[in-house]
């Protein structure tokens, strides 16, 4: 297995498989088939078998996949067999919602710090967090070795905050600001922009 | 031009071009090239030219694209040359953040109703909205002709709410619940799940 050779589109489907398998496990299900998994995620059984076989032989002809085993393998492949520290920048409504979101920890992530450049927000409490001054991003993230950040700042400041995060050692940014970011090749960005997602569907209406 | 024949992956890039072009227009820029647009969105100039040419000849060799004209055309193609009414189901933290989000109206959408099945939330005010009982989804949406919904309910109730929305005539769902939805072929779903997006990046760390 050579990680560099797996197409990104396949990597993008693995978290969806992982989520569905985790849900089956939570419901007490022990084994599954590519057919059954496919029905849960809306992807063909053949595609699922092909995607998973990129990483080895995890299923048995006739008996299917052991869910616990496949979960372990997928977590290992996606490197979420550990908990990643995540910095959140932007303590507005979306930042608040993410700070309170319960769906990170059991999927490999925990928010460890929340920053904002608005001095009126600095010191504000969001549940167990205290909003910190965005000026402290470099020292705080470098010393803690934080590699992942979520960006919920306005579009106008997103690039400058991203630059600061990257200087502080961040290698993966989940960007909620409605703007494309320019980042070096060794930094990954994923975008969450509800209007973009909606516009992708209106075409078909 | 035959809309059915354009690959979905191309449709998915158009909102990103639209967003970048709108930003250029807001900054007073009148014309652009595929090279310049490509630098903004991180997509090659050749890909952009190829994507846009699927819909006609909108640029001129040597002078590039008129931003205003291309904006009009992209809005027309994506059918966001109008304002779509959107229903929001789920008045939790994420629902609150979306209800207050300022980035819908100028991109073709407006939230017209917010629902929750939690009776303690029904009647609650979120800015100018009053949270309505989820039981009213069928009558409210059918009479208003709402075709688009955003789902910010827990995973456990997402499928049943989606079923109800589809029965009420909804054809496009932006799903924030961390679960894949089973929907008929004529209904589109887009997913926003921060953990899935993060897991797609940790693979590369």
Tens digits of per-residue pLDDT, B81-110?
A: 999 999 999 999 999 999 999 889 999 999
Which fold is adopted by the domain B84-197? Rossmann fold (3.40.50)
pTM over 0.95: no
Q: What is the pLDDT of residue B152?
A: 97
Q: What is the pLDDT of residue B72?
A: 96
Residue A57 has pLDDT above 90, yes or no: no
Block residue for tokens 């980035």: B103
Q: What is the pLDDT of residue A21?
A: 96
Q: What is the pLDDT of residue B1?
A: 47
Q: Where in chain A is the domain with CATH 1.10.10.10?
A: 3-77
Which one of A11, A148, A199 has the shortest CB-CB distance to B108? Answer: A199
The whole-number average pLDDT for the span A118-130 is 95
Which one of A23, A96, A199 has the shortest CB-CB distance to B179? Answer: A23
Q: What is the pLDDT of residue B59?
A: 75
As a whole number, the mean pLDDT across chain A is 94
Q: Looking at per-residue confidence, does B177 or A3 come out higher?
A: B177
Residue A90 has pLDDT above 90, yes or no: yes
Is B3-77 assigned to CATH 1.10.1200.10?
no
Compute, in degrees rounded to 10, the torsion defined by CA atoms A107, A109, A114, A116.
-80
Of the CA atoms within 13 Å of residue A101, those in its CB half-sphere come to: 31
pLDDT band at residue A189, thresholds of 50, 70 and 90? Answer: very high
Distance set, CA A70 to CA A28, A37, A66, A74 (Å): 15, 12, 6, 6
Q: What is the pLDDT of residue A59?
A: 75
pLDDT digit string, tens, across residues B183-198: 999 999 999 999 999 9
Is the CB of B16 inside 8 Å of chain A's CB atoms?
yes
Q: What is the pLDDT of residue B57?
A: 83
The whole-number average pLDDT for the span A107-111 is 97
pLDDT digit string, tens, across residues B29-73: 999 999 999 999 999 999 999 999 999 888 777 778 999 999 999
Residue A133 has pLDDT above 60, yes or no: yes
Q: What is the pLDDT of residue B100?
A: 94
Q: Where in chain A is the domain with CATH 3.40.50.720?
A: 84-197
Tell me how far apart the alpha carbons of residues B151 and B165 are, in angstroms, rounded to a whole number: 10
Which one of B103, B192, B199 has the shortest CB-CB distance to A178? Answer: B103
Listed in order, strand segments (DSSP E) in chain A are 31-32, 59-60, 64-66, 84-89, 109-116, 125-126, 129-130, 132-133, 148-151, 172-175, 188-191
ipTM of the complex: 0.95
Residue A68 has pLDDT above 80, yes or no: yes
Q: Which residues of chain B does A20 touch, with a Cβ-Cβ cutoff of 8 Å?
A: 179-180
Tell me how far apart the alpha carbons of residues A101 and A84 are, in angstroms, rounded to a whole number: 15
- B170: closest chain A residue by CA: A205
Q: What is the pLDDT of residue A170?
A: 98
- B111: closest chain A residue by CA: A195
The whole-number average pLDDT for the span B134-142 is 95
């Amino acid at each position: 297995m050579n990680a560099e050779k797996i197409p990104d589109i396949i990597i993008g489907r693995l978290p969806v498989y992982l989520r569905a398998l985790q849900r089956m496990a939570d419901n007490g299900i022990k084994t599954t088939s590519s057919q059954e998994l496919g029905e849960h995620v809306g992807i063909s059984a053949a595609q699922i078998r092909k995607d998973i076989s990129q990483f080895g032989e995890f299923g048995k002809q006739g008996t299917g996949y052991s869910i616990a085993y496949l979960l372990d393998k997928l977590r290992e492949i996606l490197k979420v067999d550990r908990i990643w520290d995540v910095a959140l920048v932007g303590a507005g409504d979306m930042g608040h919602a993410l700070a309170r979101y319960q769906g990170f920890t059991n999927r490999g992530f925990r928010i460890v710090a929340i920053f904002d450049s608005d001095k009126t927000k600095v010191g504000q409490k969001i549940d167990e967090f205290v909003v910190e001054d965005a000026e402290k991003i470099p020292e705080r993230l470098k010393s803690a070795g934080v590699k992942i950040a979520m960006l919920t700042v306005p579009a106008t400041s997103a690039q400058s905050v991203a630059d600061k995060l990257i200087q502080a050692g961040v290698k993966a940014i989940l960007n909620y600001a409605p703007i494309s970011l320019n980042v070096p090749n060794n930094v990954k960005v994923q975008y969450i922009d509800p209007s973009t997602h909606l516009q992708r569907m209106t075409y078909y209406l």
